[in-house]
Amino acid sequence: MRVLRAGALSLRWEPRAAVVCGVLAAAAIGAAVLVVGSGEFPISPPDVVRAVLGQGDRATGFIVTALRLPRAVTGLLAGLALGLSGAIFQSISRNPLGSPDLIGFTTGSATGALLQILVFGGGAAAITAGSVAGAVLTALAVYLVAYRRGGGVHGVRLVLIGVAAAAMLEALNSYLITRADLREAYEAAFWLTGSLNGRDWDQAVPLALALAVLLPAALLLARPLGMGELGDDAAQALGVPVQRTRALFIAAGVGLAAAATAAAGPVPFVALAAPQLARRLTRRPGPQLLPAALTGAALLACGDLISLHLPVAVPVGVVTGVLGGVYLAWLLSTTGRKGTT
Amino acid sequence: MPPPRPPARGGRGSHRLRLALLAAALLATVVGSLAIGAGHVPLGRVLSGVFSPDGGSRAELIVHELRLPRTLLGIAVGMALGLAGAVMQALTRNPLAEPGLLGVNGGAALAVVLVIAATRADDVLVCVWAAFAGAAGAAALVYLIGARGRGGAAPARLVLAGAAVNAVSSALTAGVMLLTPHTFGGFRFWQVGSLGGREMPVLLRVLPFIAAGTVLALLLARPLNALGMGDDAGRALGSRPGRTRVLGAAAVVLLCGSATAAAGPIAFLGLAVPFIVRTAVGPDQRLVLPYSLLLAPVLLLGADIIGRVSAPGELETGIVTAFLGAPLFAVMVRRGRTRDL
């Protein structure tokens, strides 16, 4: 780590983290370009770039910007949001398992969407609204139950309550699926796996807006978040308003997870794996928010690329689950340090 | 030198009395489970239905053919899940550990889906063996991944390895299910977890494994106590952490594998029961294990009875356990004994 100083201003400059971020961003964008190029009418990467910049021929331009680009952009943005949300929650709970998948927010989001799909029979917009409402209500309930006067919200307690909420909502989800008509249940199960099929700008734009607000906000506030990992008392002693920081970050993390789930369904494992991978790639302690977000984007874009080139049509959630799981298993078996988990 | 003895709360006599009370509660639940249900059966007929079903009356038939197997299965599955949860949480030193977390349920589900997809039959007996193999395979894989690298199978690494294996198997399960819609039709019911609709042969198949797992787990109480002090302290006191982990993992696989095979994934019991017990009696495994063994079937049968009477078409046991277990668990977390382990 180096520190750049100019008078009273100083900036921490971490060469390794910067290089890692650059490589991850390049990988994510490269994979997204290839995603846009894949399909029944293959388009070469240079043509894709030209079409995105508005310089290609009209037919290619239409296929790229109207049909395929929304999918690739939704994938990139959902990956960013999931990676960032995972990093936030893992840092708050000081537990590698405290990702939004495990503590109920993604499950609640799925419950909201399932209710729309199976009970109210709503369309795409209703499903989006349902999934956001589900995540926010779940988070609110978890936060309120975990809140204790005087002590505020403690990380471990938040995770444990979240796990309880997740178990309950999962039971509700399976109940809904067993009671539904087979075809509708199948559609719901497809959505539950996490998929980017048929996404258009209606899904990508709200997600982009959410990220435009929450990503810079989270990055600006990253330092108090990192100090929170030292423990509540130590952070308080360093002048961090622990409870306020935590509440703000929980709100941001829920917003990100909800927006991503609304757009792409509960894509598994990105939020769990991305922060872990980012921590190992940058070899830095503390929440690596930007690297984690970029890892998430790269993971989801690569997963989508692979799902498009498989001989059988599976949604991206199947690929990210297998890919992320195998990679995490490989990391676990090659690196032996206890402290890094 | 004998392994250490953490101080127990209350004397030996008071524990004997409390265990006897718990056993009486179990007996009462068993009677309730035989007597309560959709078809009315007078109490006098319940006994004759259990012991001499030659009367041929409809009431005796219901008791002997439907409720008796269901109740016996509930006892066996409840004991297995409660004990497995306790052992798992002691092994990983993580109060969040549960069959779902260490990949056992995921492996079982994947195997069941593969078998249904390949044979186009949802024969319960075939599912039993498939689920058992899947559970054992997943647990072995989790242990192998967690134990590689330096430092052996440290708790956090095991849980992370479980998350990895779980992600891969649930992604593959979703993939297989979405590619073969007929699998989805059968699997969505298995996935909820229920004691109903299983016949005596299912119980008889898994009973030897549950019995072996129970004996093994109960014998491990002292070594698990030593493990709870940390690897180094345990080793210094003459225990062998590596051997305890292998035997403990074997017990968990036997218990969870057979329970999940027989009843499907039952949510929350393995997580909640040991937690409740530790809150009541403290961390001494010589008390935690027998209390868990008796408390879990009381709760499982109680949940099953509630499911039978609460909805017109019956609620599956797995759904009721989640909805009862989760709020209870949340209350205990709020009371603040999250650091008992």
Please work out, in degrees rounded to the nearest 5, the angle formed at the alpha carbon of residue A142 by the alpha carbons of A137 and A144: 95
Distance CA A270, CA A321 (A): 8
Q: Is the pLDDT of residue B150 over 70?
A: no
Q: pLDDT tens-digit profile of A160-214?
A: 788 788 888 888 888 888 888 888 888 888 888 888 887 888 888 888 998 999 8
Tell me, what's the pLDDT at B333?
A: 74
* Average pLDDT of every residue of chain B: 79
- Which member of A159, A161, A190 has the closest CB to residue B178? A190
Tell me, what's the pLDDT at A293?
A: 92
Tell me, what's the pLDDT at B339?
A: 46
Instruction: Return the DSSP state at B264.
Output: -
- Which member of A168, A192, A322 has the closest CB to residue B168? A322
Is A164 within 8 Å of B326 when comparing Cβ atoms?
A: yes
pLDDT winner (highest mean) among A52-66, A116-130, B234-248, B298-312? B298-312
Tell me, what's the pLDDT at A337?
A: 47
Tell me, what's the pLDDT at A2?
A: 66
Q: Is the pLDDT of residue A85 over 90?
A: yes
**ipTM of the predicted structure?**
0.72
- Which member of B166, B177, B322 has the closest CB to residue A167? B322
Sequence-distant (≥ 6) Cβ neighbours of residue A126 within 8 angstroms: A116, A120
Tell me, what's the pLDDT at B297?
A: 93
Tell me, what's the pLDDT at B340?
A: 38
φ/ψ of residue A149, rounded to 5: -60, 135
What band does A339 get if pLDDT is binned at 50, 70 and 90?
very low
Tell me, what's the pLDDT at B154?
A: 59
With CA atoms as reference, the chain A residue closest to B189 would be A178
- Average pLDDT value for residue range B155-176: 78
Tell me, what's the pLDDT at B75?
A: 92
φ/ψ of residue A152, rounded to 5: 70, -150
Sequence-distant (≥ 6) Cβ neighbours of residue A316 within 8 angstroms: A75, A194, A195, A196, A264, A267, A300, A303, A304, A307
φ/ψ of residue B230, rounded to 5: 100, 150
pLDDT over 90, % of chain B? 11
**B 135-174 near A (Cβ less than 8 A):** 145-146, 148-151, 154, 156-157, 159-161, 163-168, 170-172, 174
Q: Is the pLDDT of residue B156 over 50?
A: yes
Q: Is the pLDDT of residue A105 over 70?
A: yes
pLDDT winner (highest mean) among A111-125, A222-236, B70-84? B70-84
- Average pLDDT value for residue range B258-287: 84
Is A160 within 8 Å of B338 when comparing Cβ atoms?
A: yes
Residue B294 Cα distances to B79, B247, B317, angstroms: 7, 22, 18
Q: Name which of B284, B259, B261 is nearest B270 in CA terms.
A: B259
A180–chain B nearest CA distance, Å: 10
Q: Is the pLDDT of residue A234 over 60?
A: yes
Q: Is the pLDDT of residue B294 over 70?
A: yes
A-chain CB neighbours of B267 within 8 Å are 167, 170-171
- Average pLDDT value for residue range B192-213: 83
What band does B292 get if pLDDT is binned at 50, 70 and 90?
very high
Q: Is the pLDDT of residue A298 over 90?
A: yes
- Which member of A160, A312, A334 has the closest CB to residue B149? A334
What band does B1 get if pLDDT is binned at 50, 70 and 90?
very low
- Average pLDDT value for residue range A274-287: 82
- Chain A to chain B Cβ contacts (< 8 Å): 177
pLDDT over 90, % of chain A? 10
| Class of A24-334 in CATH | mainly alpha
Under 8 Å between Cβ of B213 and B254: yes
- State whether residue A230 is helix, strand or coil: coil
- Radius of gyration of chain B, Cα coordinates, nearest whole angstrom: 20
A4: part of which helix (H) or strand (E)? Answer: strand A2-6
Is A341 within 8 Å of B160 when comparing Cβ atoms?
A: yes
Q: Is the pLDDT of residue B167 over 50?
A: yes
A273–chain B nearest CA distance, Å: 9
- Average pLDDT value for residue range A49-61: 82
With CA atoms as reference, the chain B residue closest to A325 would be B164
Is A148 within 8 Å of B334 when comparing Cβ atoms?
A: yes
- Average pLDDT value for residue range B98-126: 77
- Average pLDDT value for residue range A221-247: 77
- Average pLDDT value for residue range A111-139: 85
Interface test with A, best of B93, B182, B187, B333 (most A CBs within 10 A): B333
- Average pLDDT value for residue range B212-219: 92
What band does A12 get if pLDDT is binned at 50, 70 and 90?
low
Provide the residue ranges of all domains of chain A, joining segments of one domain with +: 24-334
- Average pLDDT value for residue range B329-340: 63
A-chain CB neighbours of B163 within 8 Å are 97, 272, 325, 328
A-chain CB neighbours of B166 within 8 Å are 325
Is B145 within 8 Å of A171 when comparing Cβ atoms?
A: no
Is B318 within 8 Å of A174 when comparing Cβ atoms?
A: yes
Token pair 């092994």: residue = B91
Q: Is the pLDDT of residue B83 over 90?
A: yes
What band does B338 get if pLDDT is binned at 50, 70 and 90?
very low
Q: Is the pLDDT of residue A126 over 60?
A: yes
CB contact, 8 Å: A315 with chain B? yes
Tell me, what's the pLDDT at B291?
A: 92
Tell me, what's the pLDDT at A341?
A: 38
Q: pLDDT tens-digit profile of A149-162?
A: 666 666 667 777 88
What band does B151 get if pLDDT is binned at 50, 70 and 90?
low
A11: part of which helix (H) or strand (E)? Answer: strand A9-13
Q: Is the pLDDT of residue B45 over 80?
A: no
Cβ burial, residue B198 (10 Å; 0-12/13-18/19+):
buried
What band does A137 get if pLDDT is binned at 50, 70 and 90?
very high
* Average pLDDT of every residue of chain A: 82
- Average pLDDT value for residue range B191-217: 84
Look up residue A288 and give its two tokens: 């690596």
pTM: 0.76
What band does A97 get if pLDDT is binned at 50, 70 and 90?
low
A5: part of which helix (H) or strand (E)? Answer: strand A2-6
- What CATH number was assigned to the domain covering residues B19-335? 1.10.3470.10
Under 8 Å between Cβ of B188 and A178: yes
**B 243-302 near A (Cβ less than 8 A):** 267-268, 271
- Average pLDDT value for residue range A66-76: 88
Between B176 and A239, the more confident residue is B176
